Amino acid sequence: MKLKNLLRNELTWVFVILLLMFLIMEFFLKPELTISSTNCDDSKNNNRIKQAKITDTTETGFSYSDSLPCWKVEILKDSLKQVSDERKRINEGGDVEYQFSFPNFIGTAIVYDKREEKEEFKLFCKNSNEKFQLEKKLKEATNKDTIKAIKNRIDYLTATMCANESVPYKERIKNKSYFISLNPYKFIDSINYPDYYINKRFLVNDNKYYIKYVIFDSVRNKTIYGRFAYKQIGVKYVAKGNNLLIPISLKSYNILNKLIGLAVFLTLFYIIYAFILLPLKCIIKISKGNPFALSNIRSLHLIAFFLMAYPFLVLLPKILIHFLFRKTIPYEFTFNYWECFYSNSTYLISSIIVLFVARAFKRGYDLQKEQELTI
Amino acid sequence: MPIVVNLDVMLAKRKMSLTELSNRVGITLANMSILKSGKAKAIRFSTLEEICEILSCQPGDILEYMDDEAYKKLMG
């Protein structure tokens, strides 16, 4: 009998759901952070190894001679810095334009080279400046041939500027890649191998994505020797904003954009209904002098349900998407389920409070009913 | 609740209508109907006193306890 009463209680269900979530996340969804030791020839000796040497044979570099003149050295330094900056920029994600996106969840993105856009803008400024100068000259010119030449040049400049202006650069350019963006994913860039932190890096080369990591392949004189190697992966990582981009076709991109648009609309409706309309309905009913009405209790229960469902609605699709792309996403990229759940825990606490209020209202309703039926 | 209100029996015995009783007791007809149909959850001593006085009867003539089975049989 007591168990039956306990099962009837909504709070019991809240705790049961929370416990289930905890168990699922703790035992089934914990990211695998173990690194296999097959790369190392002598894994048994790991505990005794005190030194590690890693030779980088996959990256090439060059140095400039001391005999070069100072200005040439400066130019070289500058160009090297530019190249390294550009490489760094591309490796950190490059130019990404996010289209439709849910914050901290999913979205779509286009990647294209924005440098050309900047060049085009520079050209546009240059052309408009030239046009302005030519118009000035045209007013002063008297020679017919000169006037004709200036007019032709102005016409040409106007046509070029208009052609570029009518269609945005983003739509004109053909070399674009389409992605699903998942957020927030962390790149586990270091592994604790046995005593040393070895940095992993995400690299982009020739529109292909790699992870640079270390292979330990020999142990000599109690020293472990390793080298850098590349592993090609199917995802792009943007360090700024912790976005993981998975390449998709244009067709999928368009479909996904529509779906996300619909989902945004539904979420907005959900938020407006659950967090604005329902509380408003309750307040109106209370202000009319009828607080302990069945409809109020139902509304409060609904609000509590929506509040409780919200963190799960955020988390479950994430888990589902992670599961769907489990083969594409390398284990170095992971998102913390608990962190995501904790960030939405306010909703859960609020839902429990609203449930308590609903219970109080239910008691009030019962008392009122009893009072009304006392003759 | 296996407490049966035999108000209709007493009213028939005294040849009095429910409206007249409600007017004399000072309770609305709706509330008196609730009492008569057995939907009421409780009855005040003051109301019981008034009813007994008007119908010239004892509280036991109006209220009767039944066991669960008999009550279910009666109520269908």
Nearest Cβ partner for A370 among B39, B41, B44: B41
Q: How far apart are CA A242 and CA A184, in angstroms?
A: 5
Residue (of A291, A311, A313, A310) closest to A358 by Cα position? A291
Each residue of B33-71: pLDDT tens digit? Answer: 998 888 888 989 999 999 999 999 999 999 988 888 877
Q: Which residues of B touch A (CB under 8 A)?
A: 27, 31-32, 34-35, 39-44, 47
Give me the pLDDT at residue B49, please: 92
Closest-CA distance, B25 to chain A, in angstroms, reads: 11
Of residues B16 and A159, more confidently modeled: B16
For residue A373, the chain B residues in CB contact (below 8 A) are 34, 39-42
B63 forms beta bridges with: B5
Percent helix, strand, coil in chain A, to 5, is: 55, 20, 25
Each residue of A53-100: pLDDT tens digit? Answer: 655 554 444 555 557 778 888 888 888 888 888 888 887 777 788 877
Instruction: Kindly report whether the peptide bond that precedes residue A184 is cis, defined as omega within 30 degrees of 0.
Output: yes
Give Cβ neighbours of residue A293 (< 8 Å, ≥ 6 apart). Answer: A285, A365
- Which range of A33-47, A158-172, A179-193, A258-272 scores highest in mean pLDDT? It is A258-272
Give me the pLDDT at residue A38, please: 39
Would strands A223-233 and A51-55 be described as parallel, antiparallel, or unpaired?
parallel
Percent of chain A with pLDDT over 90: 7
Q: Which residues of A touch B (CB under 8 A)?
A: 369-370, 373-375
Asked if A370 lies within 8 A of B42 by C-beta distance, the reply is yes
Give me the pLDDT at residue A362, please: 92
Main-chain phi, psi angles of A178, to 5 degrees = -110, 140
Closest residue in A to B33 (Cα–Cα): A375
Asked if A374 lies within 8 A of B32 by C-beta distance, the reply is no
Q: Check if the beta carbon of residue B56 is closer than 8 Å to that of residue B14.
A: yes
At which residue do the structure tokens 């089975």 appear?
Answer: B69
**Interface pTM, i.e. ipTM:** 0.77
Nearest Cβ partner for B27 among A369, A370, A375: A375
CA dihedral A26, A29, A32, A33 (to 10 degrees): -60
**Inter-chain CB pairs, A–B, below 8 Å:** 23
Q: How far apart are CA A186 and CA A113, in angstroms?
A: 25
For residue A369, the chain B residues in CB contact (below 8 A) are 41
